[in-house]
């Protein structure tokens, strides 16, 4: 059985899950057999696996980490009193976590980036933060408000749906890469915060994050729309920066002589003019 008198933590989690309406976290109510959220929904909102959350409710894992408890407080929308009660019941254990690291593009990479004038190029961090852009990439992305991270550009920024013409493929590839990065650095609090933010704000992200991860690499689409130059069919190339683990240089050239190459030339003249 999932519930008994020796599992107060599980009882608390189930009760709070039942009290939370799907609409409060941006989910569709639909036809539900029981009130409240499902286990998989709480797990997704907290950035946890369904199995991990289930073990907590069933009392098979009695002392989660402080990071896990904090994620559950956020996912279950707990106020201060309820959060203190969850911490009391969970008695979280300390786990060595990596200190928050601010990623930056190295000076030699910035020089390379700025010398690359024939194609948009940018540096992407471990969790898809955009660390630097060359002028052509800045112009290509100039309609984005949330341009600091590719996942936010795809899932949260209003410009994303128009810009990424193959939105579904791009979204699946971005989630796949985030999942791989999270598995490689499970102690990074930053990835949990990002997953929580995206899960709360985007139903599409929640669905993809909770889904089955395909094996192998997923290629991102290279079809974009820019209102000043129209449709661009580019060929994204990804280069690992071996001296800076987790960082990649992304270059997006067009086929020489193609309409997209002409569109990049026009975009570069707009950059020079501005």
The domains found in the chain, sorted by start residue, are 8-90 (1.10.260.40), 107-273 (3.30.450.180)
Task: Specify which residues 106 forms β-bridges with.
Answer: none
Residue among 136, 160, 165 at smallest CA distance from 147: 160
- pLDDT, residue 99, reads 53
Residue among 58, 57, 210, 60 at smallest CA distance from 72: 57
Segment 18-57, tens digit of pLDDT: 998 888 887 776 777 778 888 988 988 888 888 889 999 9
CA–CA separation, 195 vs 100, rounded Å?
A: 16
Task: List alpha helices for the chain, DSSP H.
Answer: 8-19, 39-46, 50-58, 66-75, 80-90, 107-115, 135-140, 150-155, 160-163, 167-184, 189-201, 203-210, 259-273
- pLDDT, residue 216, reads 63
Residue among 214, 222, 140 at smallest CA distance from 177: 214
Residue among 117, 115, 116, 120 at smallest CA distance from 260: 120
Segment 73-88, tens digit of pLDDT: 888 988 888 888 888 8
Compute the radius of gyration of the chain from its Cα atoms: 22
- pLDDT, residue 133, reads 96
Segment 125-141, tens digit of pLDDT: 999 999 999 999 999 99
pLDDT tier for residue 219 given thresholds of 50, 70 and 90: confident
- Taking residues 240-268, report their average pLDDT: 94
Residues 6+ apart with CB under 8 A from 140: 120, 224, 226, 232, 252, 267
Does residue 6 carry a pLDDT above 50?
yes
- pLDDT, residue 251, reads 95
- pLDDT, residue 116, reads 87
With b for 16 or more beta-carbon neighbours within 10 A and e for fewer, the 75-103 pattern comes to bbebeeeebeebbebbebeeeeeeeeeee
pLDDT tier for residue 1 given thresholds of 50, 70 and 90: very low
- pLDDT, residue 190, reads 80
């Amino acid at each position: 059985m999932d519930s008994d008198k020796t599992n107060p933590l599980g009882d608390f989690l189930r009760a709070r899950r039942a009290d939370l309406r799907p609409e409060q976290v941006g989910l569709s109510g639909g036809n539900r057999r029981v009130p409240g959220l499902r286990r998989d929904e709480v797990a997704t909102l907290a950035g946890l696996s369904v199995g991990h959350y289930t073990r907590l409710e069933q009392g098979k894992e009695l002392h989660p980490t402080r990071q896990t408890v904090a994620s559950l407080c956020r996912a279950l929308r707990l106020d201060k009193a309820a959060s203190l009660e969850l911490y009391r019941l969970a008695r979280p254990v300390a786990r060595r976590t990596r200190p928050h690291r601010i990623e930056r593009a190295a000076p030699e990479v910035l020089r390379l980036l700025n010398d690359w004038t024939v194609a948009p190029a940018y540096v992407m961090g471990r969790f898809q933060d955009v660390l630097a852009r060359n002028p052509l990439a800045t112009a290509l992305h100039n309609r984005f408000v949330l341009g600091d991270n590719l996942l936010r550009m795809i899932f949260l920024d209003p410009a994303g749906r128009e810009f990424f013409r193959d939105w579904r493929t791009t979204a699946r590839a971005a989630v796949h890469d985030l999942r791989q990065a999270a598995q490689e650095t499970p102690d990074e609090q930053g990835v949990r915060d990002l997953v929580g933010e995206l899960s709360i704000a985007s139903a599409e992200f929640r669905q993809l994050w909770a889904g089955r991860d395909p094996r192998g690499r997923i290629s991102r689409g290279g079809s974009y729309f820019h209102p000043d130059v129209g449709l661009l069919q580019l060929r994204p190339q990804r280069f690992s920066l071996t001296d800076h683990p987790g960082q990649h240089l992304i270059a997006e050239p067009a086929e020489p002589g193609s309409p997209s190459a002409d569109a990049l030339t026009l975009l570069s003249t707009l950059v020079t003019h501005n």
